[in-house]
Amino acid sequence: MAAACGVDADQAKPNIVFLMTDDQRWDTLGCYGRTDVLTPNIDKLAGQGVVFDNAFYAVAICMPSRTTMFTGRYFSDHRSGFTYPYNRTLPKEEFADSYPARLKDAGYRTGFIGKFGIRLEKLPKTVAEHFDFFAGISTTSKNGPHFPADDEELKTIYRKNRNPKERTLIKGDAMIRFLETQPADQPFCLSVSFDAVKNDRDGDMYGPHVKLFEDKQMWVPENWVEGKNTQLPKVLDYCRGTYLHMDRTSTPELYQKLARRFAVQGYTVDQQVARLVAKLEEMGVMDNTIIIYTSDNGRYHGSHGIYDKAILYDEAMKEPLIIFDGRPGKAGGGRRIDAMVSSADIAPTILSLAGVEVPKAMKGEDLSGLMDGTQDMSVWRDAVLMENFFIQEIWKVQKNAAKSKALNEEIIAGNRSYRSRGVRTERYKYFKYFEHDPVIEELYDLEKDPLEQHNLVSNPEYAELLGKLRAKTETLHKEATR
């Protein structure tokens, strides 16, 4: 393999690095206002790049969210999630329209490291077609595939006797290995998907970083609920976030313990960002590289009396999104953008920044005009679509289609479904549990009630607005599936 070295800054195609964490709530980064966490390198990237303050997930649970970000398609369109009937395996022909596949076709060297997390047809063969370098886990195997198969350094990085507490460092080592083997005359797109900050076991913490937060008093959100939240819609008693809160975050002591553990993992990720930037500078390619930082979904961590994600309150749905463009005049200088942005926009934006045609299958929007100030805001969206089609109970029989179908029908008939869809505007949030009879609806005025604690559906003053947001939800849903 050719050794890495500097690349002509005037080359037409920029390098792209897409960094994704797991379950990292948007407000657990310093650049979004937190002072009890340590994310200096991510914050520095934000200070030099563009920060999106109104970015939201199209879906806030890992597999469908990752599929959306790869393909630029909404959950109701790709339907590739965990539970029947939204557990479709993504055909390899459709993955051929994903951003890495399109970039490889355009001459990019493509790499993926970490949690792949997509239910993909003929996964080992399909990823081999679209990635030159692949190191991590998939939905079918915790051992890969890993390739190039003859890369001895890659084998050493992923050796079986390595301390599992180094899981984030392992991803960082593989990231550096990809860059060390990068040919000088070819643009690259590297996607790195960290397991952190997901999970809360001691075995997930990198020991030397634990000490930084040992005695730290962590911030507590105003809508954190001690014990069970009796104000939630009764249907959420069936969601796993309710009972997980009781197990993990329902007392001040439990909350503080886990908040520290998530902060530890966030800091370990931040150190890998420092390694990335240092390596790009060493290679002489920082001035022709775009770095995108986000997560796959947020997490409640006790807000609203829920622990998990997926439900359509902002703690799960709001997305951290930072884009740094190192090309001369492109970085952004810490500019903050308040336009409404969706996670479905990431794939078309990556292709646009690379100068590659965006396929018609992608339903998201290109963010590059927002980034450089050329976007006509009179035609930009005023609302984003949000969806949750996950139901925990169907996991019990998900491998049996007939039983899954029968259980799905039983759940809906028994009013236990908490599938939902809705819209988020800059000021308002509306969503409905559409399989419940009668339909349960929630409406929040976020200017007056940013923590979504006072449902306005029954308030006559909001009746006209409620009608408009119902119609907007149906319109965006139809557009997503057209």
Closest CA to 333 of 14, 9, 49, 34: 49
pLDDT of 141: 53
CA angle 8, 357, 374 (to 5 degrees): 75
pLDDT of 7: 38
pLDDT of 43: 98
Closest CA to 322 of 67, 57, 72, 48: 48
Please write the tens of the pLDDT for every residue from 192-227.
Answer: 999 999 988 888 899 999 999 999 999 999 999 999
Across the range 123-147, mean pLDDT stands at 83
Is the confidence at residue 139, as pLDDT, over 80?
A: no
Please write the tens of the pLDDT for every residue from 72-93.
Answer: 999 999 999 999 999 999 999 9
Which phi and psi angles does 385 have, rounded to 5°?
Answer: -85, 135
Average pLDDT, the chain: 94
Q: Give me the amino acid identity at 65.
A: S
The CA distance from 216 to 212, in Å, is 8
pLDDT of 143: 67
State both tokens at 201: 């076991």
For helices 167-180 and 252-283, angle between their N-to-C axes, nearest 10 degrees: 10
Is the confidence at residue 140, as pLDDT, over 90?
A: no
Structural domains of the chain sorted by starting position, each given as residue range(s) with its CATH number in brackets: 15-379 (3.40.720.10), 384-480 (3.30.1120.10)
> Which of 4-13, 57-66, 71-80, 252-261 shows the lowest per-residue confidence on average (mean pLDDT)?
4-13
pLDDT of 202: 87
Across the range 131-151, mean pLDDT stands at 81
Across the range 271-278, mean pLDDT stands at 98
pLDDT of 9: 38
Is the confidence at residue 125, as pLDDT, over 50?
A: yes
Cα atoms in the 13 Å half-sphere on the side-chain side of 112 = 25
Sign of the C-alpha dihedral, residues 163, 169, 174, 179? Answer: negative
pLDDT of 8: 42
In sequence order, the 6+-apart residues with CB closer than 8 A to the CB of 449 are: none
**Confidence label for 245 from pLDDT (cuts 50, 70 and 90):** very high
| More confident site: 138 or 57 | 57
Please write the tens of the pLDDT for every residue from 424-440.
Answer: 999 999 999 999 999 99
Across the range 124-142, mean pLDDT stands at 83
**Confidence label for 142 from pLDDT (cuts 50, 70 and 90):** low
**Confidence label for 372 from pLDDT (cuts 50, 70 and 90):** very high
pLDDT of 332: 82
pTM across the whole model:
0.96
pLDDT of 32: 98
pLDDT of 13: 96
pLDDT of 4: 37
Is the confidence at residue 2, as pLDDT, over 50?
A: no
Question: How many of the other CB atoms lie within 10 Å of CB of 2?
Answer: 10
pLDDT of 145: 82
Is the confidence at residue 107, as pLDDT, over 60?
A: yes
